Chain A
Amino acid sequence: MNGIDSEILNAQQVKEFCPQIDLRGGGRYPVVGASLQRRGGTARHDAVAWGYARAADALGVDIIQECPVHGIKVVDGKVRGIETARGYIETPKVGIVVAGHSSVLAEMAGFRLPVQSMPLQALVSEPVKPTLDCVVMSGAVHAYVSQSDKGELVIGAGVDHYIGYGQRGSQQVPEETISAICELFPIFRRMRMMRQWGGIVDTCPDASPIIGKTPVEGIYINCGWGTGGFKATPGSGWVFAHTVACDEPHPLNAPFSLDRYRTGYLIDEHGAAAVAH
């Protein structure tokens, strides 16, 4: 589908591909098969962010860190500038790419979004010798685990079901995903968790991002990526740059407009995360 290389494995093949897995699934949720993308894996998201930062800096972009925006000046439906902790910046164009804080910025600019911000928890274990060489996801029981090149198990949990900016998340959420991982991978049952965090994710009613213009002239937004992770970020940056430069969406992001909620052309991708959020 969509030209993605994906194959179906039966239970026997799952065991051959990932020997650490216990197919019995605790007796209640036996593994009957899997879909596998051999090409898939993980990437160093922080390295990608820093790579972009260094390249942008080398091209002459000013990156001002630790400088929150306090206000957005809009006159006659057009943006004039932004108020920051370090002063006012006059500008005819503003691109808002702030993930969980999208609604906060939108409110400053005076337009509405369908976004709800929740914490999405993740946790890493103590580092151990390499054992898991693939990313494993079980949508049915919400197990999502891989092993980083530093040896830690990287585990993705779910969102809280109510909005919050506390960046913590509730305890039953990681408990649920760790139970699932312990049933699927008995060898991990004695692993100790080292670090937990909850990022603020901006979720949309159709679980698809909003990339494009806003009701305010000169303000563009790239948000609503929800629980989708960073993988589409570079592509979204590319079409967003086109949108800001040309004041028109690129054909790839045209369907992802804020206006789709008015026209009804929603893009339902609730299944795309592959785990039962």
Chain B
Amino acid sequence: MLLIPCPHCGPRAEIEFSYGGEAHIARPEEPDELTDQEWSDYVFMRRNPKGVVLERWVHAHGCRRWFNAARDTVTYEILAIYPMGQNPPELPEPRYL
């Protein structure tokens, strides 16, 4: 059970949140100008790292606001929480014992 530090409500159990998938995917401004491959890349292709992932969460059963998180998908450690629309902060190099 992840304890996710909501920037507005503090650390809450993961069952209060909904997952928003990969962060920092910008919707193409001119979809009609993209090839089918480029559009499919936007809709379907995703990073799926064994390591640090940048992802979105929404505190669905709390304040209902969105935020970004940097989390290690092996250790599940949450390395950073940062606001929507911002870039991630400097992150430490992952070290696995």
- The interface of chain A, by Cβ under 8 A from chain B, is 101, 103-104, 107, 112-117, 161-166, 170-172, 205, 261-264
Contact = CB atoms under 8 A, between A and B. Distances in A.
Nearest to B75: A166
Given A113-B45, A164-B73, 7 more contacts: A103-B49, A103-B50, A114-B45, A114-B46, A161-B18, A171-B1, A264-B36
B86 interface: no
Contact of B1 (A101, A107, A172, A205): A172
B14 A170 contact: yes
Interface in B50-84: 50, 53, 55, 73-76
A104 B45 CA distance: 14
B37 to A, nearest CB: 5
A162 B45 contact: no
Max count, chain B CB within 10 A of own CB: residue among A101, A205, A261: A261
A229 B14 CA distance: 26
B15 interface: yes
B48 interface: yes
A103 to B, nearest CB: 4
Contacts of A172: 1, 15
A118 to B, nearest CB: 10
Contacts of A170: 1-2, 14
B41 interface: yes
Nearest to A171: B1
